[in-house]
Structure formats: structure tokens, C-alpha cells
Amino acid sequence: MTQKKSEKQYLEKLRQLVAYHQHQYHTKDAPEISDQAYDALVRELGTLELKLEGKLSRVVEGVGGASSAAFSKVKHIVPQWSFDNVFDYQELLAWEKRLERYLTKEGLQESNIKYVAEHKIDGLKLVLEYRDGILIKAATRGDGEIGEDVTHSARMIKTLPAKLKYPVDLICVGEVWMGFDEFAALNQTEQQAGREAFANPRNAAAGSLRQLDANITKARKLSLFCYDIDLFEAKNLKLPAPTSQLEELKMLEKLGLPTNPYSRLCPTLFEVETYYHEWQKKHETLPYGVDGIVIKVNQIKIQQIAGYTAKSPRFGIAYKFPAVETTTVVEGIELQVGRTGAVTPVAHLRPVTIDGSTVARATLHNEDQIKRLDVRIGDTIILRKAGDVIPEIVAVLVELRPDKTKPFSFPKSVAACGGDGRIERVPGMAAYRCVSLDSDFLRRQQMYYFVSKNALNMDGVGPKIIDALLDFNLIKDVGDLFILQAQSLLLLPGFKTKAADNVIAAIAAAKQVGLARLLTGLSIDQVGEETSLLLAQNFKTIDGVKMASKEELVAIAGIGAVVASSIMAWQKDKESQTLLTKILAHITIAPVAEQNQIGSLSGQSFVFTGTLAGLGRSEAQTKARQFGGEVHSSVSSKTTYVVAGANPGSKVKEANKLGVKIITEAEFLTLLA
């Protein structure tokens, strides 16, 4: 099969898939993939259509979907449009250049274009018609020309007035949304009743508005923001028609309609970019979903001259936040070996930009996950990245799967493992591990971690220096680091006296270490930073950890049978204990500070996520413990607070689902007072 024929076949598959998801979103209000994944598919389709056919199809150009037969059809007096999208500042500048060229072509030499930036609410578009100030119709967008009459249920939206403050004729547009708190409460009710939970707040809002029984809509507490005026007739009233987007918003407020309080006039795109980054950082703290901003030319005179394309207004654009979900292709799958011998499958991907960075790898977690998703080499997949979390594959678009792909099966050996490289599945778990840990690769990985900032924090002693020390036989294990001499380091290529002295000083500074950091650096299987802290707090000394029984270990909240078994195996491993003895001969373990049980945070549990600008996450966690709080790595219904910094990721969404309160770093600091 030629490459061109293969591309055409893929194009048809992709077009059918986009049309299907377009129908699910616009017609059924039941999207199966995220807006971001859908956007990625549409962009790929448009690129491929232009390449192979020289034009865009109606699937790419389409505005919406057909109206449902369950509701009476409404022909919109004013056609409804959807905005085109841009995804970075360069694309935004290019949009402005296109707009300026079009205005020049139409004879308008306008050098003073201003913009209004608003939140792009993740909800359902609603078109409202008032006559003499009385609400007579509420309709969904539908395909832009024909929508659905949902007046009976829209009247149940508490913030939607049945009567305006002035008896004007008005057609306006708004977004119906469901707050995160209301969404969590609704899903709890649905699950208690044995019904399936809604996937996200937008689905819940759409499903709630499209109820034949308006009482159901009322119980679900929908909200509304109005943002546009399509028709305005003041009749004999002294209400001047708006001449700008900002005046439209003020008029909507004056009439008694709800508007979003965060719109902003921006004289240039630079101010738009500032607004964008401001809300990109803090939109997760809002009570409703926002996936970007909408930018419109402020002057209505210019809007009217700019007009519309077949799909979208030329005078406005949606500027999406960096995608946390997108689509790409799996180009390979390999098994990665960690420092403790854990074997993790990793997908090699066609590089793609997600959440502001280029990603070429994603975790597949374990064998069961691969089987559940049926991930194969060559598959088009949906990729998710949240905050600092490693990107993961969340779904396979089987409709785009190439012919003759084969299911992935775990090999029986991995070269990075010791001995013959054999791997085995951990009893009772989905994880694999090396049968033998006696390999140069694993020893180096463990040594890298021992000197890292999470463990003994030998500042300036990184993997390259460890490799050089091993390659020149200056050390055999981490215990040898403590007896290194500066003179020996001068034998290494490129090392000068100052560099050698810096390394020796960093090692000397690490000889005074906390018990938790030491335990973290020993690379005990299943024992990370949180478990090391638990061990240090409960046993106080390294001898206490060495002598702990399984019963004592599992009695600690947060340490289960699997972790306890790993610690017991480490206690009995002669090589591990010999190395520990060697290390202990050169270090001093600082006394374990007593955790404050009656501090201001006593009885409260915290999860920290995102980048904390002031304290940093580790210091914030330490302070929470010092004041009697508990710190956990995952959100549960028992979590008291999630402290969210910049780019917080999925933990904020999980908190919203569970009804856990989300606070900022500043609010956390006030709790310490």
C-alpha cells in the first residue's frame, strides 16, 4: 500500500471519528472525550484535509449539531456561531494580522482596536429572547440555525430573570454551567440512587437543562452568565443601544441579567496575554470550569465590518489554556527499570505539546493497564498531563487503529535487571520487578538517588560525578563517598582544585542527616519519602527501624502489608545491612523532632499540589506537620484541605468531586497563625 493511499484511508477514518464526536457533543450533549482531545482531532483533520484535498470539509467547518426530536425546534432569529481557537500567543498575533488585513480590504484603516477578554466558561450555550421585558423563549444553539426550545427548564435557573428591569425587546446569549460543589452533590445523589455518575460538570449541566421535568432542573441548581446581545430594541425608553462589547455587558447587568465579573478591557494583545496568563494560573480556584479566554473586538462598529466566516466571527477568537489532554501516536513501548528494581512500561510517543511542554513519553503504569486500554504500537491515543504528574495514556481511539497491529505482551527479561535479566510479577500486585538486583545499572540508579536533594542532598554531586567516580574506580558504593579525598578527585577529567574541594565540602555537609532522609536514600523497595517520614516518627532511630516487627509496621497508619514485607526483606538482606553499617560509620543522624500533636492544625489533613511560590511544597508539608497536621499524597473524602499552587493538576478536580475545600498558599499560612 502506498503512503498516499494509507493517508487517505486514515483521513476517512479520522473524518468519521470527528463527525461522531461532534454529534455526541452538539446533538446529544453527551461528549465521550474531553474538549481538548476533540480540538486535537479537529486540528489534525483540518491539516490532513488541506494537505490531501486542498480544502476543509463540512465536518471541520460545521458549527454545531442537529436539534433533538425530544424538544420542539426553534429557528434562531439571529444565527449562532462558534469561535475559532488559538493555542499560543503567536497564533493570537496571526489572528490579529488577518483581522487587520480584512478590515483594510473593507476600507477601514483602524489603528485603535481594543479588545475585551472574558472567561471561556465550560458550559452550554443558551439563547434568550425577551419581549417587552418578559422572557418568552430559551433555546439551545443546535446547529446554529435550529435549536431546541428549553424554556420550561431554563426558567428553573435561579439567576435567570423571568422579567427584566426594563420592558425592552432583547435577544441575548449566555452560558449555562454547574458549579463544582453542585456537581459533587449531584453525583453523590446519583450514585446513592444506583444511577451512573456524570462524567463532568458540562455534561451534568446539559443533561439538567434538557429535562422534560423542570423540577429536576430546579433541584440541580444551574447557574448562568450572559455575555452577548444579538438584538436590542429600547422602544420609547431612554436606553441607548450599546456601541461596544463592554457596554453590552453593562447593559445586560442594567437589565438584571447575570454576567461574569472578570471581563477586562485590553487596549492591546499584550494586555490580553497578561489576562490570559493571570487566569491560566488561578482558574482552578474558580467555582466553575474555565478552559481558556474569549477575546472580542470591543467596538461594535468594527465587529459589524469584520463580520463572519462560514463558521466563526472574524472579530473574536477563543484562546485555549494549554491542553492537559491531547492526541498523539504510540511509536513504541519499552520496559523501564527503576532504582528499586520495579519494572514500568513506558510508551514512546510522536512528540506533542501538552500543558505547555513537549512530551515524547508517557507511563503505562503496569501490565493490567496495558490490557485494560489495549494499547498497541501504532495506536492513536488520548494523552493526559496534569501539573507535575507524569503524562499518562487514558484512552485508545480504536477507530484509528492501523491494520495488523498486535497486542503488547510483557517480555520475560529486561537487560537493565541483574543476572539473566529475568523479571517476575509481584504476588498480589499488577507490578513487575527484577528477579536479581545485581546489575551495574541498578547500582548507579540507587547511588544517584542517595546523593539527590530528596535524600542526603549532596549539592553538586550528581549522576555525572557518580559515573566518573565509578568509572575511575574511586568508589564502589555510596559508603566510599565519605572517605574520598580531594586529591583523588583531581584524577578525573576536567577536575580542578576548586571543583574537587566543592565536592568534598558537599559530602561533608551531608554527614549530618535526618533519619527520614537517610531511609529515603537507602532505596528500600516500597519506601519513599512519605513512608520514610512515618518510619522516622514512629521508631525514632535507625536501630528501631532495623528491629521493627511486621506487626509493629502494619500497625502504623499508611503502612500496609506489602510495604511491611519489603522492610522486613531489607532487614534480612546481608548486602543492604553491610552497606548501612558502612554509611553509619561516617554520618550523624539528627534527633527526630517530635510531631506536634496539639498544634493549630491538629486533627486536620492536607494534600499539597502545584507550585507554591513562597514556601515550596516540601517546606509547606514540613510546616503542616510541625503544627500537628497530617500530610498525604492523594485526596480522599477525609482530606481537610487541598493547598493549590500554580498548575495544580488533577488533585484539585478530585477535591471538587469529593467536596474537599481548596485553599491557596496564603490561606494555608493564615492557618499557621
Give yes or no for a contact between 320 and 276, defined as CB atoms under 8 angstroms apart: no
Sheet-wide strand order for 223-233: 134-140, 124-131, 169-177, 223-233
- The CA distances from residue 302 to 110, 115, 231, 267, in Å, are 9, 11, 17, 15
The whole-model pTM stands at: 0.62
Q: How many CA atoms lie within 13 A of 577 on its CB side?
A: 12
What phi and psi, each to the nearest 5 degrees, are found at residue 457?
Answer: 55, 55
Question: Out of 1.10.150.20, 3.40.350.10, 2.60.40.1930, 3.40.50.720, which CATH number does the structure's domain 440-575 have?
Answer: 1.10.150.20
- What is the distance between the alpha carbons of residues 59 and 46, in angstroms, rounded to a whole number? 9
The pLDDT of residue 324 is: 78
% the chain with pLDDT above 70: 94
pLDDT of 61 reads: 60
| CATH of range 605-672; options 2.60.40.420, 3.30.1130.10, 3.40.50.970, 3.40.50.10190 | 3.40.50.10190
Q: What are phi and psi of 318, to 5 degrees?
A: -100, 130
Report the CATH fold assignment for 3-62: Helix Hairpins (1.10.287)
Which CATH number does 75-320 carry?
3.30.470.30
What is the distance between the alpha carbons of residues 205 and 494, in angstroms, rounded to a whole number? 64
Residue with cell 491557596: 664
**Annotation marks residue 120 as catalytic:** yes
- For residue 301, give the nearest of 240, 246, 244 by alpha carbon: 244
Give the span between the Cα atoms of 42 and 15, in whole angstroms: 9
Which pLDDT belongs to residue 228? 96
User: Which amino acid appears at position 570 of this protein?
Assistant: W
Among candidate residues 254, 248, 18, 309, the one with its CA nearest the CA of residue 118: 248
> What distance, in Å, lies between the first and last C-alpha atoms of the chain?
70
Domain ranges of the chain: 3-62, 75-320, 325-425, 440-575, 605-672
Would you say 503 and 494 are in contact if contact means Cβ atoms under 8 Å apart? no
Q: What is the rounded radius of gyration, in angstroms, for the C-alpha atoms of the chain?
A: 30
Residues of the chain predicted below pLDDT 70: 1-5, 26-30, 60-71, 110-111, 356, 386-389, 594-598, 613, 646-649, 673
Catalytic residue among 55, 120, 238, 464: 120
- Give per-residue burial for 249-267: e unless 16+ CB within 10 Å, then b: bebbeebebbbbebbbebe
E-state strands within 124-216: 124-131, 134-140, 146-148, 169-177
Q: What is the pLDDT of residue 98?
A: 93
Residue type, 15: R
Question: Which H or E run contains 360?
Answer: strand 357-363
Length of the chain: 673
Strands of the sheet with 630-631, listed across from one edge: 630-631, 605-609, 641-644, 661-663
Set of cell numbers at residue 267: 487596549
pLDDT of residue 652: 79
Amino acid at 110: E
pLDDT number for residue 300: 95
> Which residue carries 423563549 as its cell?
137
CATH code of domain 325-425? 2.40.50.140
- Vertex 428 angle, CA 422 and 434, to 5°: 20
| Rounded Cα gap, residues 318 and 599, in angstroms | 48
Report yes or no: 228 and 209 within 8 Å, Cβ to Cβ: no
The three cell numbers locating residue 107: 476600507
Same topology, domains 3-62 and 440-575? Answer is: no
